[in-house]
Amino acid sequence: MAEKKSDIGSKKLVSLVPESWASWLTNCPNIKVEELLDSNLQWVGRENDSLMKVSTPELGLFLLLVELQLRYHRKMPLRVRAYTALAGEKYELPVYPVLINILPHVKDPQIPSCYESEFNEIRALQEYRVINLWEVDVNLVFEQNIRSLLPFVPILKGGGEEQVVRRALRELRADEELSQLESLLSFFSTFVLELPVVQQIMRWDMAVLRESPLAQELFREGRVDGQLELVLRQLTRRVGTLDESLVQRVRGLSSEELEGLAEALLDFSDVSDLQGWLANLTA
């Protein structure tokens, strides 16, 4: 029997602990998830969209729209506006949109919480909630039992210590459903811990990550400022500071070549290993 591919896309993340996500995103502790809805609304549906029908005694029925992004993109306000309108039209319910940014933008730290435009005296406005994970205190995850954030612990505020990551790992493994998110926790751990440490405490598996819709989306959207910078950072840790010529050669690699380098560098001991690997690409 063929092995089932790992699915750790955002839809899967939400479906595993929907009440945890809904309560945290809306600040409504008594919220109830009525239904996980189809988020494929014409041209805007994709892996990192999640849509839930939820309710509270105070607000009644409404839609919770979740957009999960590696880094903020300037087109996101327009996208949230369009998706909010389409979801509201399809299900005829109020929509509470939330944009979650996983990592800070390397160039523009200003992240708007609304779409606003004006043309020929016609004004359009769409507000939405913005959550930047790097600003979320990791202690809240454990104190308030926000299980939905356990895979993201390493990149939360104060979450980059080995003992904190180990605690998140223990809690993931203690939950039968959430344990499948260990590979995602491993992925984010490489942003803050040395790769040998990650390999020692977790079941690190690049093959699983390549099959993950969320990881694929992270790599696609972070081609230059995400995947590339991660590889350069890990190279520096493994072989020391790189001269500018080597940095530029790495920057010129394709996405597939970067993934190959990310695996190969685990066996590098000095800069000659990197030079040899790069030479083999053109041999």
Residues 188-209 have pLDDT tens digits of 887 788 777 888 888 655 555 5
**Rounded distance, CA 52 to CA 219, Å?**
26
The answer to the question of residue 128 being in a domain is yes
- Of 118, 135, 152, the one marking the end of a domain is 135
The answer to the question of residue 74 being in a domain is yes
131 and 228 in a single domain? The answer is: no
The answer to the question of residue 149 being in a domain is no
Give the closest residue to 198 by CA, choosing from 180, 212, 208, 184. Answer: 184
130 and 226 in a single domain? The answer is: no
Which of these ranges, 110-114, 181-185, 206-210, has the smallest mean pLDDT? 206-210
Give the closest residue to 22 by CA, choosing from 67, 54, 68, 61. Answer: 54
pLDDT band, very low/low/confident/very high, at 163 (cuts 50, 70, 90): very high
Residue 8's pLDDT is 46
- Of 81, 105, 135, the one marking the end of a domain is 135
The answer to the question of residue 193 being in a domain is no
Host domain of residue 269: 222-283
**Mean pLDDT value of segment 158-182:** 90
The answer to the question of residue 165 being in a domain is no
Domain count for the chain, please give it.
2
- Of 117, 135, 153, the one marking the end of a domain is 135
The answer to the question of residue 110 being in a domain is yes
Answer whether 194's CB lies under 8 Å from 166's CB.
no
The answer to the question of residue 172 being in a domain is no
